[in-house]
Amino acid sequence: MQDLTLVTQGFTPPLRLSDYKLAAFDMDSTLINIECIDEIADAAGRKAEVAAITEAAMRGEISDFKDSLRRRLALLKGVPVAALEAVLKERLRFNPGARELCAALKAAGLKLVLVSGGFTFFTRYVAAELGMDWVRSNELEIVDGALSGGLLMQAWGEICDGEEKRRMLLQCAADIGALPGECIAVGDGANDLPMMGAAGLSVAYHAKPKVRAQAMVAINEGGLDRLLSLFQPRAA
């Protein structure tokens, strides 16, 4: 089995990295090794219940991501903030090649966007570590040191779902004068498909079957930095 499975849709590798100006990434199970909400649920003894909803949503079996997130959040009511801190320190790890890929893209002049249906508690750390230029994610409501089971409204809205990911990619592209075709989108779940469909290069990383089927590139084995093998080496 090859590390990199290519689905050709109007392009023939090698590509030129200089043709791209922006790359947008999902976080959970793409840049990092876990689904943060499932690990938070573990602290409440409800991981199996929450993880089942997460899996169904990521496979595209639940079409309303916002509803699926609200259902999961309700099950987390009362979880102490200390549980989030433990997930961050003890369980969150970057997926292989994540740091290398982001560093290479930034060195080539691309802007990076982190768009997540997860939570700012974690995206702030991930974004800082990887040098993201923009971040969009959900803000957990915390009352008296514990999760309320809800989210805080932000200037752009309450929940970052698939359509918000797509909108954020296009907005950031417009801000730097980039066309959608000059963007790369990387994800693993069904809620990544809207932004992947808007980008000039869509990449599925260890993704759900529905996502692999629709992506231009599927990395099924190995690390995220395998994506770099698509591009021509930079001239010396």
Top-tier CATH class for 4-33+94-230? alpha beta
> What's the pLDDT tens digit per position in 139-149?
999 999 999 99
Assess contact for 71 and 53: CB atoms under 8 A: yes
Residues involved in catalysis: 26, 28
CA pair distance 114, 169, nearest whole angstrom: 9
List of residues 6+ apart from 209 with CB closer than 8 A: 59
The residue written with tokens 């997930």 in the block is: 87
Instruction: Note if the pTM is more than 0.85.
Output: yes
Rounded-to-integer distance, Cα 150 and Cα 169, Å: 25
Handedness of CA 210, 216, 218, 223 (dihedral sign): negative
Report domain extents, the chain: 4-33+94-230
Count of Cβ atoms closer than 10 Å to residue 16 Cβ: 11
pLDDT, tens only, 59-109: 999 989 999 999 999 999 999 999 999 999 999 999 999 999 999 999 999
DSSP-derived secondary structure letter, 91: I
| 159-214 pLDDT per residue, tens | 999 999 999 999 999 999 999 999 999 999 999 999 999 999 999 999 999 999 99
